Every structure is written in C-alpha cells, then in structure tokens.
Amino acid sequence: MPSARYGSRPTMKDVAARAGVGLKTVSRVVNGEPGVTPETEARVRSAIDALGFRRNDSARILRKGRTASIGLVLEDLADPFYSPLSRAVEEVARANGSLLFAGSSAEVPEREQELALALCARRVDGLVIVPASDDHRYLEPEMAAGIATVFVDRPAGKIDADVVLTDNAGGAREAVAHLIAHGHRRIAFIGDRPHIHTAGERLRGYREAMADAGLPVAPDWVSMGPTTPDHVRAELARLLGGTEPVTAIFSGNNRVTVTAVRVLAEHVRPVALVGFDDFELADLLRPGVTVIAQDPARLGRTAAELLFRRLDGVSEAPRRVELPGTLIARGSGEIPPSLAP
C-alpha cells in the first residue's frame, strides 16, 4: 500500500524533497531529459517509486499550452454506422499521442453546441464533429483561437471549414440508376428528415437519376421524415398500397433499410430495394440487400488525419473531401418490377 493519504497525491515537490534534489531535476528525470548523472537519477527514481508518484498531466498541460487531447462529437455513440468511424479517429489520435474525448449530440443541435463548447473549455487541441446543428458560427471564436476543427459525414453550417463526407448525391444517383436499369419506373424514396444534409443530398441524387432517365416523380413517392420503425412502416404501407403502387424502394439510410427489409419480407408481391449504407449480415438475408456502401472507417481516418495536419500548422484554405460510395449488388436491388395487382 502506498503511503499517500486517500485522495491526495505526491507531487514533484515531494519527490524532490525526499530525493534531496531540486524540482527541476525531478522534472528532468520524469521527462527523460538529458543532463542528470546516473547517480542522481537513481535517487530520484527511488523516491518516485517509494512515493508512488505519477506526473499530473493537467498541470503540465496548463503550462505547455497543448493538451494532447482531441474531441469527437458524434450523433450517437451507439449507432453502428459511427463505430468504425470512432475507432478510426481514436487510432489516429493514438498515433499522434493524443487522448480522445467522445460524446453524442443525440441529433439535438443545442446538445452538439453544449458538448463542443465544453470540449473547447477543456482546451482540446482539435475537434472532429458529426454535425447535428446547421449553424456553427458559435465555433468561430474557438477556431480563431486555434482549436482545429474538421467536420465529418455532413458539412458545417454558415462557416467555412474542413469537411470529409461521402458523395451522397452521386451514391443516390447510382442506386436509383441501378433500379431503373432493372426495369423500374415507379420508384419511391424514403429518407430522413429534410433538414438533415445527407437526406437532402440523397433526395437530390434520386431526382437527378429519375430526370436523367426521363422518368417523372410523383409527389407522393418522396417520403422524408423520422426514421422510426412506426413511421417507415406507415409510409411503406402507403407506397405499396393503392391502385398504383411503386415497384421499388430506395431507402435513404441504414435505419430505414432495416425496417424496409422487415416489411418487404411480409409483403405478398416482390418489391425491389436498394439502401444507402451497408450493414452487417446484409448478405445473409434472403434476398441479400443491395446497398450503396459508405466507408465510415475511412471517413474517420481521413478527418482525423486532416485534423492533425492542421495541428501541425498546415493552413491552406478549408478543404472538402468527398469519398465515393460503392454499389454492392446482392439480390434485393435486382428484383424486376412485378405486375401491379
């Protein structure tokens, strides 16, 4: 058992006193700086061990300026889409000697701001943000003060900043063109709420692909709203019912796709489905689910690497990096249009 009282820890001063040396000498030993005789060093080390000393990095940070920590603001720590992204950011932070603060905005703009500013108050060196808000002017003073910031998955709002994202419109175009190539003309889009950037971009890609093929889009084929199972189920019932049901669905994200798979499994008539975002086991379902896969690990890695380049002093204009989506055909997107009932 160490001799320290519960809740109080030995400091460099204590080590110096016990070793009979100056404070700076202890600092030199702890930080592996040169210029200490082996004999002195040994005395210091044994004092460190006897006292159970460990350097207080908070104090060090205060003095040095850089905190060797970065912040990650996600939409939801528990969303599997962000798991590889988080992990990639962590790996890059680790490689750069930084620790990672992580938190979720729960898709609430105020919470994103609260969390980002709390991280700034801790003086993280930089921030990787999956935006929930569409106005990031609140970050301007922080960025001007030197906190590097990179947005990922969605662009920043009302400020000019680095962003790394998937080519959402392009991926959506490819998805819809794929359905058209398989004979569909009546194709619905079910996406997230319209104020979400990715949802808007995917809708744009859908419309462009339809226009490119000279196909009309009936207003009620587009459904933008919450991605809760209940809402998606209701929308699917509407789209697949009536006298002129759609023959194919383009689902705008992961959550929607999973619900669509459940509903279509119970549906009498086969309906084609292409989803945005890949997910585990998509290949094991019957039929396998055709998707536009993003690469969340690469998104995270690219964003974090850009962040650390900024921290190293690279100060070119803000960049926008777009990564391509990849169509993976597995069966559900290759179902031909079935005759109307």
Partner DNA sequence: CTGAAAGCGCTTACAG
For the record, the structure tokens of 147 come out as 């906190």
Q: Is residue 122 within the footprint of DNA (CB under 7 A)?
A: no
User: Which positions from 234 to 263 touch a second copy by CB under 8 A, shown as an x/- string?
Assistant: ------------------------x--xx-
Query: What DSSP state is assigned to residue 331?
Result: B
Chain CA centroid to CA 69, Å: 18
Strand order in the sheet with 187-191: 222-224, 187-191, 248-251, 272-276, 290-293, 326-328
Question: Which entry of a second copy, DNA, none binds 141, CB below 5 to 8 A by partner kind?
Answer: a second copy
Residue type at 255?
R
Q: Which of DNA, a second copy, none binds 258 (CB below 5-8 Å, type-dependent)?
A: a second copy
CA distances from 258 to 57, 172, 233, 276, 291 (A): 45, 17, 11, 11, 12
Cβ-based nearer residue to a second copy, 1 or 268:
1
What's phi and psi for 33, nearest 5 deg? -80, 150
CB of 181 to a second copy, least distance (A): 27
Window 3 to 22, contacts with DNA (CB under 7 A): 8-9, 11-13, 20-22
**Does 4 engage in binding with a second copy (CB under 8 A)?**
yes
Render 63-90 in DSSP notation, one character per residue: HHS--SEEEEEES-TT-TTHHHHHHHHH
* Of the candidates 12, 20, 24, the residue with the CA atom closest to the CA atom of residue 51: 12
- Cβ proximity of 201 and 167 under 8 Å: no
117, interface contact from DNA, a second copy, none, CB < 5-8 Å by kind: a second copy
Site string for a second copy, 93-132 (x = CB under 8 A): -x----xxxxxx------------xxxxxxx---------
User: What span, in angstroms and rounded, lies between the C-alpha atoms of 281 and 159?
Assistant: 39
Which alpha helices (DSSP H) does the chain contain, by range?
12-19, 23-30, 38-51, 57-64, 82-95, 109-121, 140-144, 168-181, 197-212, 229-240, 254-266, 296-311
Is the CB of 2 or the CB of 22 nearer to DNA? 22
Residue length of the chain: 341
From candidates 64, 94, 158, 319, binder to DNA by CB under 7 A: 64
Scan residues 174-233 and list those touching a second copy (CB under 8 A).
Answer: none
Among a second copy, DNA, none, the one that 100 touches (CB under a kind-dependent 5 to 8 A) is a second copy
Determine which residue in the list 2, 42, 52, 56 makes contact with DNA, applying CB under 7 A: 56
The only residue of 32, 39, 78, 339 in contact with a second copy, by rule CB under 8 A: 78
Which amino acid, 162?
A: D
* DSSP 3-state of 92: helix
Q: Pick one of 4, 23, 95, 340: the residue that binds DNA (CB under 7 A).
A: 23
User: CA nearest 203: which of 219, 224, 187, 185?
Assistant: 224
Among 31, 32, 39, 144, binds a second copy (CB under 8 A): 144
Q: Which amino acid is at 327?
A: L
Nearer to DNA, 59 or 234 (CB): 59
Rounded distance between C-alpha atoms, residue 10 and residue 52, angstroms: 7
Q: Which stretch binds a second copy (CB under 8 A): 135-143, 180-188, 198-206, 211-219?
A: 135-143
Shortest CB 120 distance to DNA, Å: 12
* Residues 9 to 68 in contact with a second copy, rule: CB under 8 A: 9, 52, 54-59, 61-62, 67
**Chain contacts with DNA (rule: CB under 7 A):** 8-9, 11-13, 20-25, 27-28, 30-31, 34-37, 39-41, 53, 55-56, 59-60, 62-64
**Chain contacts with a second copy (rule: CB under 8 A):** 1-2, 4, 6-9, 52, 54-59, 61-62, 67, 69, 76-80, 83-84, 86-87, 90, 94, 99-104, 117-123, 140-142, 144-146, 258, 261-262, 265, 279-281, 284-286, 297
